[in-house]
Amino acid sequence: MKLISGGVCAAKGYKANGVHCGIRKNKTKRDLSLVVSDVKASAAAVYTLNLVKGAPLTVTKQHIADGYAQAIICNSGNANTCNANGMEIAEQMSALVSQYTGISADDVVVASTGVIGQPLDIAPIAGGMDALNGGLSYDGNAAAAEGIMTTDTVMKEVAVEFELSGKTCRLGGTAKGSGMIHPNMATMLVFLTTDAAISPAMLQKALSGDIQSTFNMLSVDGDTSTNDMVTVLANGLAGNPEITEENEGFSLFMQALNTVTVQLCRMIAGDGEGATKLLECKVDGAKDIQTARTVAKSVICSSLLKAAMFGADANWGRVLCAIGYSGAQVDVNKIDVSFQSNKGEILVCKNGAGVDFSEEKAKEILLEKEIEILVSLNSGDACSCAWGCDLTYDYVKINGDYRT
C-alpha cells in the first residue's frame, strides 16, 4: 500500500475539472465540479440519516439503484435542500452532464453543498458547463477538489496504489467538510474513485462496512448535515479479476479504502470551522467494539473538552464526564486517561482518579497542532478511534453570519 498523488484522478480512466460558474458571489472561488469515468463504473453510496435531505441525494439514490454510474457533478454555495423545485434542479444538472458528455443522465451522481433553503438557479450551472466539460483532464483533480469547498480552508485529497492479483490498482478521493459535521453514515461530501474491478454489491458492502470505523467516528460540531454523502466509483480499468465475494482481494481492497478514508477523516477534522487543532481519541481495553466506539465518539464530541483543548488546559475530568454520559456500560474505576502529542505523553488519570502531573508539561503537550486523547477502559480487548477538533472563538464568528 503506497500513498500517491492525484486524488480522484489517480486511478486510470478518470477526468475531472472545476470552474466558477456564478453560484458563489466570490469570482475567485470555483463552485462547480465534474468527475467523469471513461467507462461506466460500479457505484455505491451512503447517505445522511437526517430526515431533512438535500434533493441531490434522492436523485443520486435513484440513479445508482442499478449499481452503476459514470459521472459526478457537484456545486458549492447552495445545498439545494428544502427547495420546492429541488428535484427538478438536480435532474436538470444530470441532464446537462448528459448533454455535454454523452453519458446517460441516469448514470450521473449529483451533489450540492452550501446554504440550506436558498433557491438554486440552473442558469449559472448551464452557463458554466461548456468550460467545465471542455476543461476535463486526467490531472484535473485539484480543480475539482476546489470546486466543492465551502468554508474549507484547504483541499482534501488522498490516493493509494496497491496490487490485486498481480495488477496495479489505484484508489483516490476528495472530500469537503469543515462545519455541520456529525454524521451517522458519512461526512459532508466525499467522492472516491478506483480502477479496481469490483461488483456493485461488494463495493457497497465495502463502503458500508468502512464508514462504521471512519466517517461515523468523526465530529466537528455535533450537527448532522442534510447533504452528507459518500460515493465511490469503480471502473475496473486496472484489469484485475472482478471481486465478487469476500476473499483476499476484497480484504486488500478494504485496506486500500480504509487507508484513504482515515486520511480524509483526519483532514476534515483538522480543518473544522475555526479549528486550530486536530483531536484524535483512541480507546482501548473495551469489552466490545460498540463500547469502544461509543466512548471515543462521546469524548470527541464534548464541547467542554474541545474548548479545553483550544486553551491547552489538561482538564481531564471532562474526558471522564463525556464517558459517563455516553451511555456505554463501563467500570469508571478502571479508566486511565493520558494526553499525547509530538511533545510527549502525560498520564492524568489512573483508575478513574486524578494523579499528580506537571501542568507545565501538560500545556506543552496540548499546545501542539495534533493531540491524542488516550483512554484505556481496562475491561477487554476492543479498541476504536474518533476524530474531531478544538472549539474556538472563530467557530461562532463563521456560523454567526454564514447565510448573510
Enumerate the active-site residues: 187
266, amino acid identity = R
Measured from the Cβ of residue 2, the count of other Cβ atoms closer than 10 Å reads 11
> Closest Cα partner for 186 from 249, 119, 113, 242?
113
Which contacts of 344-351 are long-range, i.e. CB under 8 A and separated by 24 or more positions?
345/374, 346/314, 348/314, 348/316, 349/316, 349/319, 349/320
* Whole-Å CA distances, 349 to 284, 306, 313: 15, 18, 14
CA dihedral of 59, 232, 181, 385, whole degrees rounded to 10: 150
Q: How far apart are CA 356 and CA 102, in angstroms?
A: 68
Contacts (Cβ under 8 Å, ≥6 apart) of 253: 164, 169, 171, 194, 196, 198, 206, 243
User: If 0-12 CB within 10 Å is exposed, 13-18 middle and 19+ buried, where does residue 92 land?
Assistant: middle
User: If 0-12 CB within 10 Å is exposed, 13-18 middle and 19+ buried, where does residue 243 land?
Assistant: buried
